[in-house]
Amino acid sequence: MPLGLRRKKNKSRENSTLVENEEVGGHAAGSSVKSSGNGAGLPPPPANLRPKLVFHTQLAHGSPTGRIEGFTNVKELYGKIAHTFNLSPPEILFCTLNTHKIDMEKLLGGQIGLEDFIFAHVKGIKKEVEVFKSEDALGLTITDNGAGYAFIKRIKDGSVVDNVKVISVGDHIECINGKNIVGTRHYEVARMLKELPKEQKFTLKLVEPMKAFEMLEPRSKGTKPASENKMGTGRGTLRLRAKGPATVEEVPTEFEEKAVKKVDDLLESYMGIRDTELAATMVEVGRDKKNPDEFAMALDEALGDFAFPDEFVFDVWGAIGDAKQGRL
């Protein structure tokens, strides 16, 4: 079937404990305790499918160390962290691995190294800002936390938003022109921002992550993900999936790392988002496909909600092929 004519899918488709006096930056234990139901209110998968792992966690702005286990997706992870620190799960904006800083290179995505330390960034100051859209592109890259919050991952130098100093990397976008967008996926938020009329003002309501005193410093614009950054620092990784149980996998191969990075770059170029979990899924779907049409059909089957442009699909197919041949 020709690529341009492929069928499109419809778009509608507690045993956590605090550990007192433990040093910041500790590592995960390799054993576990029997886990309770998940803290996010979702039905847990069968016990034999739930990875029996224990991870250490802290609140990024400062807290005792906690232990969490028994989660199989990001929403359950947030629920476990919230239960540990007596929070409501919606208070958690995102998590970083092995650093308490708002470092977008260390953002928790679809994989956690088995020895990674999880830092949870919670809601801090709310702010409202008016922006004049003088250019077609605002210079923002959007991602989301896997649980309904879109936030800013990168600000391009010299862009419209770069000149609005109150807007920072890590800010959660709560409302656009008074419309609440909580629960809206990152690609939809990016589209909404792109479609705002040029030469007009618009209003953003933002929530910045809570910061410890030593984190109060000039804003970061985000950094270009470096190819040498690993998805996990442990002996293996816990792969969190939007659908299906979490699985323990080997550390990603060089092919997987290069392919995922390139596909993530293409997501930013075409759609204004970054999402390593989505990129990893696309690489997984395409690694054994024989031609672009077969790959396009498989993408529609696995990720039909996105309705990717044909040109983007061709480029992703080419990137996966280049990674296989060692050309990246």
Query: What CATH number corresponds to the domain at position 157?
Result: 2.30.42.10
Q: From residue 1, how far is each of 147, 291, 293, 307 by CA, in Å?
A: 36, 11, 7, 16
Q: Read off the pLDDT of residues 69-81 as tens digits, 9 standing for 90 and up.
A: 988 888 999 999 9
Residue where a domain stops, chosen among 99, 121, 143: 121
- Regarding whether 108 and 86 lie in a shared domain, the answer is yes
My answer on whether 202 and 258 are in the same domain is: no
Same domain, 115 and 151: no
Q: Mark whether 72 and 101 lie in a shared domain.
A: yes
Quote the crossing angle between the two packed helices 186-194 and 254-271, to the nearest 10°.
30
Q: Are residues 131 and 186 in the same domain?
A: yes
Which residue bears the tokens 């410093």?
Answer: 217
In the block, which residue shows the tokens 């659908």?
Answer: 243
Domain boundary among 71, 103, 121: 121
How many structural domains are present in the chain? 3
Q: What is the mean pLDDT of residues 7-32?
A: 40
The winner for highest mean pLDDT among 203-207, 209-213, 270-274 is 203-207
Positive or negative: CA dihedral 287, 292, 294, 299: positive
Do the domain assignments include residue 89? yes
Question: DSSP characters for 23-46?
Answer: PTT----S------S-TTSPPPPP
Q: Are residues 180 and 159 in the same domain?
A: yes
Question: What is the CA 165 to chain-centroid distance, rounded?
Answer: 24
Mean of per-residue pLDDT scores for the chain:
80
Query: Is 220 part of any domain?
Result: no
Question: Which of 80-89, 109-118, 316-325 reaches the highest mean pLDDT?
Answer: 80-89
Q: In a 3-state reduction of DSSP, which class is residue 194?
A: helix
276 compared with 110, residue with greater pLDDT: 276
How big is the chain by its Cα radius of gyration, in Å? Answer: 20
Give the domain-ending residue among 106, 121, 136. Answer: 121
140: three-class secondary structure by DSSP: strand
Q: Coil, strand, or helix at residue 297?
A: helix
- Shared domain for 116 and 136, answered yes or no, is no
Least reliable range by pLDDT among 90-94, 163-167, 250-254, 314-318: 250-254
Same domain? 111 vs 126:
no
Q: Which of 73, 74, 113, 81 is nearest to 97 (CA)?
A: 113
Amino acid at 312: F
Please give the pLDDT value at position 246: 66
138 and 113 co-located in one domain: no
pLDDT score, position 307: 76
Q: pLDDT at residue 31 above 90? A: no
Region of poorest pLDDT, from 57-61, 96-100, 213-217, 237-241: 213-217
Same domain (yes/no): 150, 104: no
According to the per-residue pLDDT averaged within each range, which of 41-50, 167-176, 208-217, 294-303 is highest? 167-176
Looking at per-residue pLDDT, the higher value among 5 and 303 belongs to 303
Q: Which domain holds residue 58?
A: 54-121
Per-residue DSSP letter, 273: B
Q: Is the pLDDT of residue 96 over 70?
A: yes
Please report whether residue 237 resides in a domain: no
pLDDT at 203 over 80: yes
Is the domain of 286 the same as that of 317?
Answer: yes
Confidence at residue 238, expressed as pLDDT on a 0 to 100 scale: 72
Q: Is the pLDDT of residue 27 over 80?
A: no
DSSP assignments along 237-290, one per residue? EEE--SSS--EEEEPPPHHHHHHHHHHHHHHHHHHSB--HHHHHHHHHHHTT-S
Q: Contact, 162 vs 218, CB < 8 A?
A: no
Query: Tokens standing for 148?
Result: 């309904």
Q: Order of strands, edge to edge, in the sheet holding 236-239? A: 111-113, 236-239, 247-250
Q: Is residue 39 part of a domain?
A: no
> Could you give phi then psi for residue 311, rounded to 5 degrees?
-60, -40
φ, ψ of residue 86 in degrees (nearest 5) = 60, 45
User: Does 211 have pLDDT greater than 70?
Assistant: yes
pLDDT of residue 222: 60
Predicted confidence band of residue 219 (pLDDT cuts 50, 70, 90): low
Asked, for residue 37, whether it belongs to a domain, the answer is no
Same-domain status, 73 and 136: no
Question: Encoding tokens for residue 51?
Answer: 């990875």
Q: How far is CA 38 from CA 18, 35, 50, 109, in A?
A: 17, 8, 11, 19
269 inside domain: yes
Would you say residue 82 lies in a domain?
A: yes
pLDDT confidence of 59, banded at 50, 70, 90? very high
Count other Cβ atoms within 10 Å, centred on residue 63. 17
| Pair 328, 321: CB distance under 8 Å | no
> What's the confidence (pLDDT) of residue 9?
42
Indicate the residue type of 184: T
What is the reported pTM? 0.69
In sequence order, what DSSP letters do the residues of 144-184 get, joined into one string? E-SSS-EEEEEE-TTSTGGG-TT--TT-EEEEETTEE-TT-
4 domain residue, yes or no: no
